[in-house]
Amino acid sequence: MTVSSDPLHDAARLQEIADLGLLSSDVDPILSDVASRAAASLGMPVSLVSVVLDEALQVAASHGIDGLWLNDVGGHPVEWSFCATSVRTRDAFVVPNTHVHPEHRTNPLVTQDGVRCYAGVPLISSRGFVLGNLCVVGMEERTFTEAEIGGLRDMAAEAVRRIEARRR
Amino acid sequence: MVAKTEGGGRIPAYGYGAPTEAEVVASLARVFGPERGSEAWAKACRTAGTRAGAVTTTALVERCAQALAAEGGAFATVARSVDIRMRTYTRLAATAAAPAGGGTRA
């Protein structure tokens, strides 16, 4: 096996995640209000600030997951991750209806946990690495407007500024 | 291949099993290449008081992953992935084993 060309497995990206202290629990307080604002502004029940690792998604901050197994675990396997797509494309990923999405209609988060729609935008560090996503998740089919995705992008940029301010 | 656990096996509804040594070694190879990945795993196993190739239980996988995490940097992110995957398995297995009506949806 050779080194993977998948951005998920890029050692430099993972090093950036470590350098920015994103494995530390002290990142939650500076990001949780961003997650809450994202959920409120789009009228969604759940929002996450995710860190996409090589084989798992880590929840760095969240809104609306109290009492769910995702909150207990603090993440989930990367093969169930909607956010991993943005690490690969460096762009927003929107799924209005998971039940008809070719990749995610069989995702256990859809079939077992009821995820029905998703919109996420990448968190891109000033060094150009995609760290994870700011995303919203819902249990009903829903479309997302360009303006709503633009709002998410603004909040994602703010999240990155807060993360990087800790490095200085 | 699924590492031996007290409960064992996969969680049918999620099609998911606990992470194994082979999976962790493959993860390290994808990120660091096979040689550097194997070296890192062997070192983590030694630190954890075992040897590469003999990590046959979930408890041992966890211990070796903790040793890998202590290396810091990108190694720690791979170790965190193992930790999250292990905790996912443990949590969902507990729910699956709970009596009817005792489950928790995510």
* 0.90 surpassed by pTM: yes
Chain centroid, CA B74 distance in Å:
16
**How many domains does chain A contain in total?**
1
Residue A133 scores a pLDDT above 70: yes
Range of the structural domain that residue A78 is part of: 7-165
DSSP assignment letter at A5: -
Looking at the partner chain, which of A23, A56, A72 has a beta carbon nearest the beta carbon of B85?
A: A56
pLDDT in tens, A37-94: 999 999 999 999 999 999 999 999 999 999 999 999 999 999 999 999 999 999 999 9
Tens digits of residue pLDDT in B18-28: 999 999 999 99
CA contacts within 13 A on the Cβ side of A16: 23
ipTM of predicted complex: 0.96
Q: Any CB–CB contact under 8 A between A54 and chain B?
A: yes
Instruction: List the helix and strand counts (H, then E) for chain B.
Output: 4, 0
| pLDDT band of A1, cuts 50, 70, 90 | low
- The beta-carbon neighbor of B92 closest among A18, A53, A69 is A69
**What is the C-alpha to C-alpha distance for residues B106 and A50, in angstroms, rounded to an integer?**
16
Residue A1 lies in a domain: no
Judge whether A2 lies within some domain.
Answer: no
Q: How far apart are CA B67 and CA A49, in angstroms?
A: 27
CATH number at residue A16: 3.30.450.40
User: Which residue bears the tokens 């905790």?
Assistant: B87
Q: Is the pLDDT of residue B6 over 80?
A: no
Tell the residue number behind the tokens 């407007």, with chain if given: A145
Residue B103 confidence (pLDDT) above 50 = no
Q: Where in chain B are the domains?
A: 21-95
Res. A23: pLDDT tops 70: yes
Residue A147 lies in a domain: yes
Query: What is the SS3 assignment for B44?
Result: helix
Q: Is residue A145 part of a domain?
A: yes
